[in-house]
């Protein structure tokens, strides 16, 4: 693999009708790094991810995968380079969990990597703690179990780039840590991981780099300690936010200052 970024976005602008959702976003996604996309609702995080994954063609700007324009890739080849976890957990037919995870191996069919199918599926299911659910039909799972199964499918795809849209949504605290820890391990092994997160504490704990989006633009970019500051977050989220180090672990704690809100509700 070349030394350049796994994914690059330059001047990406997306307009839905008169609304500008993304406005000239530049982004480099590097191997060996967890990149967190954060920002308030409607900041354009998910849209940016759909642009990176090739679902939405930007109105302006370009995206390159391994230095090659996204639109020049064949879908089948692209599926061996990057895996995408979407927020939707819909399944039209009641496939069992093990089959859903195995769908992640589809891009490798007819190649030498196909031999690793069973191992990849088993490993992904272990990593996401869904091995015990293997025979359960997907539709009867809880929201969190569905989310973990979908994440397992994405892991089983064994691609060098992972694009994850809120992988911790609907997960309990333990599984949130577990999922991001797995993303962390993949990055340490040399993969490039982009993850959309709402929980700034999780972003602070697991990301190497944070991109803070605000109104479709990059408001700040850098290591968590530089981006996740009280002043910047208070401004972007339009709500007083405190950032402080954990007294024991030293981790960044991002908490809302609720004094003013409580007063209003009183």
Partner 1 sequence: MSTDEVAPPRALRPSRGPGALSTGPGPVAGARRGRWLLPLLAVGLLVAALAAAGSGQVAVPFEEVLGSVLHRLGLDLGPLPTHPRGDDTLWAVRFPRVAMAVVVGAALAVAGALMQGVFGNPLAEPSVVGVSAGAAVAAAASIVFSLGFAGDWTIAVCAFAGGLLTTLAVYALARADGRTEVVTLVLTGIAVNAVAGGALAFLMFAGDTQAREQIVFWQLGSLNGSRWEQVWVVAPLAVGGVVAALLAAGRLDLLALGERPARHLGVDVERLRVALVVVVALLTAAAVSFCGIVAFVGLVVPHLVRMVTGPGHRVLLWASMLAGALVLVVADTVARSFVAGADLPLGMLTSLVGGPFFFWLLRRTRRSAGGWG
Instruction: Provide CB contacts within 8 A for 143, sequence distance 6+.
Output: 89, 170
Among 6, 27, 31, 102, binds partner 1 (CB under 8 A): 102
61 contributes a contact to partner 1 by CB under 8 A: no
122 contributes a contact to partner 1 by CB under 8 A: no
Query: 3-state class of 143 per DSSP?
Result: helix
Phi, psi of 115, rounded to the nearest 5 degrees: -60, -25
Strands 192-196 and 161-165: parallel
Q: Which is nearer to partner 1, 98 or 243 (CB)?
A: 98
Q: Which is nearer to partner 1, 24 or 42 (CB)?
A: 42
Residues 83, 80: Cα–Cα separation, whole Å: 8
- In 3D space, the residue among 86, 45, 80, 212 whose CA is nearest the CA of residue 158 turns out to be 80
112 contributes a contact to partner 1 by CB under 8 A: no
Q: Which is nearer to partner 1, 92 or 173 (CB)?
A: 92
Taking contact as CB under 8 A, which single stretch among the options 108-116, 179-187, 200-208, 258-266 is the one that binds partner 1? 108-116
| Contact (Cβ atoms closer than 8 angstroms) between residue 97 and residue 149 | yes
Residues 23, 96: Cα–Cα separation, whole Å: 41
53 contributes a contact to partner 1 by CB under 8 A: yes
| CB 228 to partner 1: min, Å | 22
Binding site for partner 1 (CB under 8 A): 14-16, 21, 42, 44, 46-47, 49-50, 53-57, 59, 71, 73-80, 82-84, 86-88, 90-96, 98-100, 102-110, 117, 139, 157, 165-166
């Amino acid at each position: 693999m070349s030394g350049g970024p796994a994914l690059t976005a330059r001047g990406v602008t997306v307009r839905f009708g008169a609304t500008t959702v993304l406005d000239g976003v530049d982004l480099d996604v590097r191997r060996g790094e967890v990149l967190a996309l954060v920002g308030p609702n409607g900041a354009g995080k998910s849209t940016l991810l759909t642009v990176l994954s090739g679902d939405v063609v930007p109105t302006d700007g370009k995206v390159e995968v391994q230095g090659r324009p996204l639109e020049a890739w064949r879908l089948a080849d692209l599926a061996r380079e990057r895996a995408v976890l979407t927020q939707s957990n819909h399944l039209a037919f009641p496939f069992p969990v093990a089959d859903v995870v195995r769908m992640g191996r589809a891009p490798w069919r007819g190649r030498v990597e196909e031999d690793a199918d069973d191992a990849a599926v088993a490993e992904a299911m272990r990593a996401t703690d869904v091995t015990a659910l293997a025979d359960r039909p997907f539709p009867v799972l809880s929201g969190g179990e569905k989310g973990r199964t979908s994440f397992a499918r994405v892991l089983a795809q064994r691609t060098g780039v992972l694009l994850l849209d809120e992988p911790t949504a609907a997960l309990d605290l333990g599984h949130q840590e577990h999922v991001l820890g797995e993303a962390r391990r993949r990055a340490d092994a040399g993969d490039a991981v982009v993850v959309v997160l709402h929980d700034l504490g999780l972003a602070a704990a697991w990301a190497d780099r944070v991109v803070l989006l605000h109104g479709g633009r990059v408001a700040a970019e850098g290591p968590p300690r530089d981006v996740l500051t009280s002043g910047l977050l208070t401004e972007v989220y339009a709500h007083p936010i405190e950032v402080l180090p954990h007294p024991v672990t030293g981790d960044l704690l991002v908490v809302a200052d609720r004094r003013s809100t409580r007063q209003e509700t009183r």
